[in-house]
Amino acid sequence: MRALILGGTADASLLAEALSQARLDAIYSYGGRTRAPADQPLPTRTGGFGGAKGVADYIRREGITHVVDATHPFAVEMSRNAIAACGDTGTPLVALERAPWARTAGDNWIEVADIASAVAALPENRARVFLAIGRQHIAPFGTRPQHAYTLRFVDPPEGALPFDADVLVSRGPFTLEDELEMIRSRGIEWIVARNSGGNGARAKIDAARALGLPVIMLSRPQLPDRPRVESVAEVMQWLGHRACLGA
């Protein structure tokens, strides 16, 4: 067996640790968006594959027998390429993906389907807005320059931003206390977020609920059907092994 882990999430790192402890042959692949990715206990590659054909070629060349898609739920292109490549090569595929967050009492969500709808949902009058959507999606908000934006990235931005913004460079996960302090200190009035699910990024959603702030929540994009699990233990079971870590 030789597994390819399409990673970049906290769950992917937990899976890498479990695979390493189980001494399983696996390769961890970063998509390349982060310039200084966290170290992994597995052999690591960084960068794109060159589309679905590139993924299929890599699977054949490296003798990959199993693929685990542990990318971000909004990494649609990579997930679709993995589905196509695994179908082309007959390679088993499973997605490690936490369930999306569900609205609870006290949440003030405006649920939208895409970035354009998120931009349109912002108020007309100037507001302090925390964009928690990743740097590759911020450009459309340049059409609403009246707002005071706060951005948070793992790496400093390259080049000019499409609007003036307060940029925080920091790597999570963040606690509820972290997010409450950030929101209060900057006077944040609106939050734009993607429904990533899981616990690693939910503190900002809990903070918004505690403070009664509106959240423009981007729904997850639709993907073709594929096997899906929510924990490292389930992936290890799928691979025919027990997890060495709790997850």
Q: What is the spatial distance between Cα 189 and Cα 207, in angstroms, rounded to a whole number?
A: 12
Whole-number mean pLDDT of the chain? Answer: 91
Q: Which CATH class is domain 3-99+223-238?
A: alpha beta
DSSP structure class, residue 101: P
Q: 89: exposed, middle or buried (C-beta count within 10 Å: 0-12, 13-18, 19+)?
A: middle
Cβ-based burial of 66 (10 A; exposed 0-12, middle 13-18, buried ≥19): buried
Higher pLDDT, 18 or 136: 18
Q: Is the pLDDT confidence value at 218 over 60?
A: yes
Architecture of the domain defined by 108-218: 3-Layer(aba) Sandwich (3.40)
Neighbours of 102 (CB within 10 A): 8
Contacts of 186 (CB under 8 A, 6+ apart): 128, 130, 150, 166
More confident residue, 117 or 244: 117
Between 45-59, 141-155, 158-172, the lowest mean confidence (pLDDT) is in 158-172
pLDDT at 245: 42
Predicted local distance difference test score (pLDDT) of residue 32: 60
Q: Give every CB contact of residue 11 below 8 A, 6+ residues apart in sequence.
A: 70, 96, 98, 198, 200, 232, 247
User: Which residue from 193, 225, 174 is spatially nearest to 74, judged by alpha carbons?
Assistant: 193
pLDDT, tens digit, 9 for 90 and up, residues 27-84: 999 876 665 567 899 999 988 999 999 999 999 999 999 999 999 889 899 999 999 9
| Stretch 108-121: mean pLDDT | 96
